[in-house]
Structure 1
Amino acid sequence: MFNPLDHKGIPLDDQIRNWRELNVEPIDPEAVDPYTRCRIIAMNGIEAEAIMFSHQFARNCGDDDVKRQLAYTRYLESQQQRVVNWLLPGQASVLETTLGYEQVAVDLTAWVARHEPEPYLRQAYEFGVLEDFDHLYRYANLYEMVERRKAEKIVDGLTEVMPGRPTVQEHRHPFDEVRTPYDKDLVDPRSKLHALTILAAEQQVMVYYMNVGPQYMEPIARQLYQEISLIEQEHVTHYESLVDPGESWWERLLTHEYTECWLYWSFMEQESDPRVKAIWELHLQMELAHLQSAADLFRRHEGREPEEIVGGSGLPEPLTFEPNKEYLRHLLATQMDLNKLGEGYVREAHERFEWMQQQLHAGEQPPSEQVIEQHRERFGDEYRIETEGPHPVESLRAKEGGRSA
């Protein structure tokens, strides 16, 4: 297995690129694998998280030499982020990019949940993915209403589009978004990579929706972005609380760089577009040097070896973008009615949840329900992509209704 700690990568002094090198040609969305776009979106979220984390580290660091080292590496990360995000085509609308973001959230989180070794953390990802699944469905209906196009153009049948846990039921009391963190000294090293990956992806979605929502003139579009952006904020709280707050800044820096190596290596292994694959390969070589820098800081300030944090056997299996239809249908059939209470999960609408629902909705229909209703009025039905048969929950209810009749 590939062990990034055994490789030096491109020396830091050789990594600053000029304008010609940064001016990458965007992908052709009509020609590439839809999962190429997903990989781009996912890596942009990771790079953005690396930059923001580095800024926060610098604000809490009193050592000017360390701050200078962080600033230099952060500049390199910033160039990487521009290259990655600028691969997205300029002709994509805000809604098309949104559908891509939600496809990433669904298939990335589903893959992580399937491969998470800790049952408690796996449940956290399974809970969250059913909500992103519903967001994809709501935005797909909005896309056809506003742009007269179908989400099939974006997701290409790789990800189904149908109701998940209803968005209206995702507005919970903030207290109930806080989870119990993993124990940094006991948890499987893979879990640290998973937690940071999903946190970065959800944070990217949250920030994007916060900023693009007001760009629409259509009232229902503005309202839907406002509603779902609030839920994405809940998701960031949900996922960030899983991370052990006892991790030192040096541990976190090491985990960030190790995660970037894992993801660039993973995407390089599966990328079908030769030009994009070359960028993943180049950035991996850069990240190997960033990791060595973080490992040196960790040894110097903590007196420990990085293997104590990330493990010594090398990277885990590569993260892959792939259809998760069967797995998601299983979750829909078994967990769609889950709710949160304290640090656990329940199936009833408890008092605090009902209080929050009343405060927010005040007896009115939320935008997430309005968009489906308006789509039905305009087109005669809602928009769905069900490639594996009818919705598992609706099919079960239909059978139960027939038996009772």
Structure 2
Amino acid sequence: MPFNPLQQRGIPLDRQVRNWRELNVAPIDPDHSDPYTRCRIITMNGIEVEAILFSHQMARHCPDPEVKRQLASVRYVEAQQQKAVNWLLPGVSSVLETTIAYEQVAVDLTAWVARMEPDPYLKQAYEFGVLEDFDHLYRYANLYEMIEHRKAEEIVRGLTEVMPGRPTKFHHRDPVDNVRDPYDRNRTDPLSKLHALTIMSAEQQTMNFYMNVGPQYMEPIARQLYQEIGLIEEEHVTHYESLVDPGETWWEQLVNHEYNECYLYHSFMEQESDPKVKAIWELHLNMELEHLRLACDLMRRHDGREPEQVLAPELPEPVTFEPNKEYLRQLLDTQIDLTTLGAGYVREAHERFERMQQLLNNGDRPPSERVMEEHARMVGGEYRVETEGEHPVPALRGGR
């Protein structure tokens, strides 16, 4: 049945604060859980982190003390939600194991969004980005086998292939070529707004994660690979955040954030296989329904508009974690040699691209290439997991 969160009542805000016992969630079992349960956890952690950061930024730009107090009250609950969600990850997993799961999220979530995106320009943005995350998964999987002597297949369980995407060395672009054209908030499909916010939030969390965990490794090649891919995640956040119309008011952005949280918690509740995790998704959905109601009241009061003017009348089809192997192989066959130029895409290694490559590499091979060379010396060959067939890895035209 259609679900319209604007017509639902959730848990009253004054009943949403949880005590320590309630926040002490049991982590998932990394050896027996559905890999997509972990993907849903990582996704919702990123969504909650974005909600918290956005609320802080809004509060810093808001002169109304009453609004600041309401934001603070909701934000504290969002912070509790983030702790409950992120603490579902098992402490026994290494940083690299969690990293591989992060990249599985990036691949299958972005691929699903690209498949469902109605706007051709936005769809292209997601298709472009996913081929880079696909290669990051491949590089980290080889690093994982090299320094922890385990295989990424134990983490992705055959749901996501591990093989080369657009080579990571070609992801380094002049920053101005990472800025895309935004959608038009007055014309775009409400689903497109949810997609943009979801992928931006997920990539932002990946960027934050790599910024913090990269130095935790002693192995120089691991530290260097996290540095390289961490810088690319910064490019990805720029790429995705620029898709959002900067003309959206603070109130409009607030209701979009809260509506998106309802959308994702409802989606994941519908498909979750772990009963304990599903109960958390359901609880958080009922909290977010109240957060959305409060945000809508603020929009009416301060923006003079009804939330129905900017939000979908009912939740779209659920966001689904599922294998995207054939779709990704089609993209590998047709888009692997793209780079960006201005707000568009080209197949030629243009002057700004070449200059950035020269500035970064200065005659040396980047860490993403050296990790493969070290893996070949230590283990022999490369590590990959694919269903069938081989795919070439062409260079950009004119690229070195």
- Structure 1 counterpart of 2:228: 227
- Structure 2 counterpart of 1:318: 318
**Could you give the per-residue CA deviations for residues 57-110 of structure 1, whole angstroms, max 9, x where no partner exists?**
000000000000000000000000000000000001000000000000000000
Q: Is the 8 A contact 1:224 1:368 kept in 2?
A: yes
- Structure 1 counterpart of 2:342: 342
CA distance in 1, matches of 2:389, 2:75: 48
**Could you give the per-residue CA deviations for residues 116-139 of structure 1, whole angstroms, max 9, x where no partner exists?**
000000000000000000000000
2:69 maps to 1:68: yes
- Structure 2 counterpart of 1:402: none
- Structure 2 counterpart of 1:277: 278
**TM-score, length basis structure 2:** 0.98
- Structure 2 counterpart of 1:308: 309
Provide the alpha-carbon RMSD of the alignment. Answer: 1.0
- Structure 2 counterpart of 1:213: 214
CA distance in 2, matches of 1:281, 1:375: 44
2:162 maps to 1:161: yes
Amino acid at match of 2:39: C
CA distance in 2, matches of 1:299, 1:211: 39
2:195 maps to 1:194: yes
CA distance in 2, matches of 1:259, 1:311: 10
2:379 maps to 1:379: yes
CA distance in 2, matches of 1:236, 1:160: 24
- Structure 1 counterpart of 2:101: 100
Q: Is the 8 A contact 1:162 1:391 kept in 2?
A: no
Q: Is the 8 A contact 1:268 1:277 kept in 2?
A: yes
After TM superposition, the structure 1 = structure 2 runs for residues 221-300 of structure 1, keeping only pairs within 5 Å, are: 221-300=222-301
- Provide the secondary structure at the position in 2 that maps to 1:67: helix
Amino acid at match of 1:374: E
- Provide the secondary structure at the position in 2 that maps to 1:340: strand
**Could you give the per-residue CA deviations for residues 306-325 of structure 1, whole angstroms, max 9, x where no partner exists?**
0111122x000000000000
Post-superposition shift, 1:392?
A: 2.9
**Could you give the per-residue CA deviations for residues 309-364 of structure 1, whole angstroms, max 9, x where no partner exists?**
1122x000000000000000000000000010011100000011001100111111
Post-superposition shift, 1:380?
A: 1.5
- Structure 1 counterpart of 2:370: 370
CA distance in 1, matches of 2:156, 2:294: 39
Runs of 4+ in 1 over 4 A off after TM superposition: none
- Provide the secondary structure at the position in 2 that maps to 1:310: coil
- Provide the secondary structure at the position in 2 that maps to 1:162: coil
Post-superposition shift, 1:266?
A: 0.1
- Provide the secondary structure at the position in 1 that maps to 2:141: helix
- Structure 1 counterpart of 2:398: none
Post-superposition shift, 1:300?
A: 0.6
Amino acid at match of 1:333: D
- Structure 1 counterpart of 2:392: 393
2:21 maps to 1:20: yes
- Provide the secondary structure at the position in 2 that maps to 1:392: coil
Post-superposition shift, 1:31?
A: 1.5
**Could you give the per-residue CA deviations for residues 368-394 of structure 1, whole angstroms, max 9, x where no partner exists?**
00001111111111000011x123336
CA distance in 1, matches of 2:389, 2:229: 25
Aligned residues: 394
Amino acid at match of 1:46: I
- Structure 2 counterpart of 1:134: 135
**Runs of at least 5 residues in structure 1 that lack an aligned partner in the other structure:** 398-405
CA distance in 2, matches of 1:284, 1:107: 23
2:42 maps to 1:37: no
- Structure 1 counterpart of 2:51: 50
CA distance in 2, matches of 1:295, 1:53: 16
CA distance in 1, matches of 2:40, 2:275: 14
Post-superposition shift, 1:173?
A: 0.2
Q: Is the 8 A contact 1:257 1:291 kept in 2?
A: yes
CA distance in 1, matches of 2:15, 2:339: 51
Amino acid at match of 1:260: E
Post-superposition shift, 1:294?
A: 0.3
What is the aligned-residue identity percentage? Answer: 73
- Structure 2 counterpart of 1:327: 327
CA distance in 2, matches of 1:308, 1:362: 52
- Provide the secondary structure at the position in 2 that maps to 1:345: strand
Amino acid at match of 1:297: L
2:358 maps to 1:358: yes
**TM-score, length basis structure 1:** 0.96
CA distance in 1, matches of 2:206, 2:99: 8
